[in-house]
């Protein structure tokens, strides 16, 4: 298991009933929602959320997501989502680890890849310095 680095942020959550299927396990698509909650927390911890990116004159789009499931989350399980920055040069990669606190097991690990555009939607081939300066601890 790859541990999150020390600069990772984490968000503690509990599985709500509306996220589970008839077997009372979390539907696989909700893991992306949990990633998104942690990504938002990570970006805000660096002083840069969606409004901040827009204020700088940029937009960011998710172009790729990856999840590897290893143990299901169940209704009412408490869990922690860790998020940290990977690559920042040409694209932004955010790494995630979901840990089931109730069962003390890793549930999933994954990543999302974002690219940056200018305000008109033109793809930028590098993450702008203004964004990188905010994100590098």
Question: Which tens digits make up the pLDDT trace of 47-69?
Answer: 899 999 999 999 999 999 999 99
- Selection from 3, 5, 10, 4 nearest residue 41 by Cα: 10
pLDDT at 57: 95
Average of per-residue pLDDT across 85-109: 96
Question: Is the entire prediction scored with pTM above 0.85?
Answer: yes
Pairing of strands 58-69, 92-100: unpaired
Q: Which CATH number fits domain 9-135: 3.30.9.10, 3.10.129.10, 3.40.50.1000, 1.10.540.10?
A: 3.10.129.10
Q: How many CA atoms lie within 13 A of 22 on its CB side?
A: 0
Looking at every residue in the chain, the average pLDDT score rounds to: 95
DSSP H helical ranges for the chain? 30-45, 50-55, 129-135
Q: Give the pLDDT confidence of 2-45 residue by residue, as tens digits.
A: 689 888 999 999 999 999 999 999 999 999 999 999 999 999 99
């Amino acid at each position: 298991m790859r541990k999150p680095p020390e600069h990772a942020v984490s968000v503690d959550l509990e599985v709500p009933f509306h996220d589970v299927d008839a077997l009372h396990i979390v539907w696989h698509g909700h893991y992306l929602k949990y990633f998104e909650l942690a990504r938002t927390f990570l970006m805000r911890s660096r002083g840069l959320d969606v409004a901040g990116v827009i204020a700088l004159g940029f937009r960011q789009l998710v172009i790729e997501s990856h999840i590897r499931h290893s143990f299901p989350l169940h209704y009412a399980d408490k869990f922690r989502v860790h998020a940290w920055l990977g690559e920042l040069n040409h694209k932004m990669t955010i790494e995630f680890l979901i840990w089931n606190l109730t069962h003390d097991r890793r549930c999933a690990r994954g990543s999302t890849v974002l690219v940056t555009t200018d305000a008109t939607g033109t793809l930028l081939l590098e993450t702008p310095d203004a964004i990188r300066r905010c994100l590098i601890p």
